[in-house]
Amino acid sequence: MTETNFASMRAAMVESQLRTSDVSDVRVVEAMGHVPREDFVPAERKAMAYIDRPVPLGNGRSLNPPLATGRLLTEAAIKRGEKVLLVGAASGYTAAVLAEMGAVVTAIEEADVTGKADTFPGVTFVRGSLAAGYPESAPYNAIVIDGAVEEVPSALIDQLADGGRLTTGIIDKGISRLAFGRKSASAFGLTHIADIEMVSLPGFAKPKTFVF
């Protein structure tokens, strides 16, 4: 498949998946229309790069559908120059989009996923537990959890600056829901925005409780 084919697929993604589905931040749309998504999936799956479903990356991980990425970043309202922690860097696509938007990105990943997160300008890639985040570079203006989790651990909330935003997917009774939260002093709460298809991230399970 040629570069021209991919450019056409990228334009179609923008028009049919993003602009029609509440991805209203012009900078998000422009960045996703510029970053070559096909460079962040395995060679044998490049033809799948722009489909509206998760793309398997290997080692049990998948790349979020374009709509999930677009909605997460739109709700995060990233401004140029802001410090952003990306939790679940996977192959580096979302990190590259954030860098294209002018963010200063720390991208954390624990799985062995082949990608370009550690070579894309503007991105610092670190290896470690997703749920633990990366406090060494905190506080962050925004944290983007690039997938759906059962709960947001306090370790990540602690790494937000006062007024900082967090976007994620929350798994609720088997359904993933787009969620947004803002930290104010020591207070933090999540608001569910919409049901959305999103990949699940490992390591965020709620502790099991006894039922009497």
Contacts of 67 (CB under 8 A, 6+ apart): 17, 18, 21, 23, 52, 196, 197
Q: What is the spatial distance between Cα 118 and Cα 120, in angstroms, rounded to a whole number?
A: 6
Residue-level pLDDT at 159 = 98
Residue-level pLDDT at 3 = 78
Q: Span 3-195: which CATH code?
A: 3.40.50.150
Residue-level pLDDT at 60 = 85
| Spans of the chain below 50 pLDDT | none
Residue-level pLDDT at 116 = 59
Residue-level pLDDT at 104 = 97
Instruction: At 14, give phi and psi (nearest 5°).
Output: -60, -45
Task: Determine the distance from the C-alpha atom of residue 208 to the mean position of all C-alpha atoms in its chain, rounded to a whole number.
Answer: 27
Question: What residues does each domain of the chain span?
Answer: 3-195
Residue-level pLDDT at 106 = 96
